[in-house]
Structure 1
């Protein structure tokens, strides 16, 4: 089975990107422009193209599942996972930048996770429904950290990136 691509909105109208695929494509374009800037500066860049992004803990039927993981579960193609896993083993990530926007109830973001000494950046575009993130937002704010769990389709390994300013990735407050 092929990994879902960034514009594969299988699942129809229930998928968070249904009706806003053009916004997602703009996020991907922004990520690619950011990657070019890093490369022009001499950095190595790993670009990820999530097929699915799920807030953790997930919400089902109005009740949050008992889950110690707090953040975003990010499904990426196997080859991209292998690339980020190989790079992450050899470096220490020490900073990040987040670019966030919200279109109605959908949160979009690109996070650039940097290993400055190695001049390596991992770019992760994200999307999720704000309504699905209530428990995640509350727990991340309380903990002072939101994790990005990057994984392949098999869900047998993960690379975890911690964001120490969770508000940068959370839905905008009114």
Structure 2
């Protein structure tokens, strides 16, 4: 059975394929000519559903999408759904802008959030959420990962996402947690009713 991932990110494709392994599902990449939907939702869940529905409508296949970001308590949840476009420029520019906005803030608690959505052939949509709690450092540590990873400190592991080995990060990350929840939901759905393409 074929599903399409509403992303051109090969790392996401590989990660999802591993997590859904054993369900009899083949994950296909989004065709290059697929349209980019306007992510005008006000929550991670809404944006994930928008991307999944667009991919399902274009390909005719069940589609999976995710939307994620960093939520900082001292900034009332910002950058949140705007994490990837918090300011113009590179990841380093966004990290610098975030640290600038955090000057003088003693509360450094934050979390990475990921919502994953799956649109099935009958129109049903499954939406799940994964979170990882952490603290925002005052300077970057580690060269791994991407985005805000070098600033995101995980107390339980004593290092940042940027310092964690990839397999450990995938185990505890917001995206890993959301996708494992999605796997559980798909397993239940297949046991209850089953579903087929078309």
How high is the TM-score relative to the length of structure 1?
0.24
| Higher Cα radius of gyration | 2
Q: Which has the higher contact order (CA 8 A, sep 6+)?
A: 1
Where is the helix percentage greater, Structure 1 or Structure 2?
Answer: 2
How high is the TM-score relative to the length of structure 2?
0.22
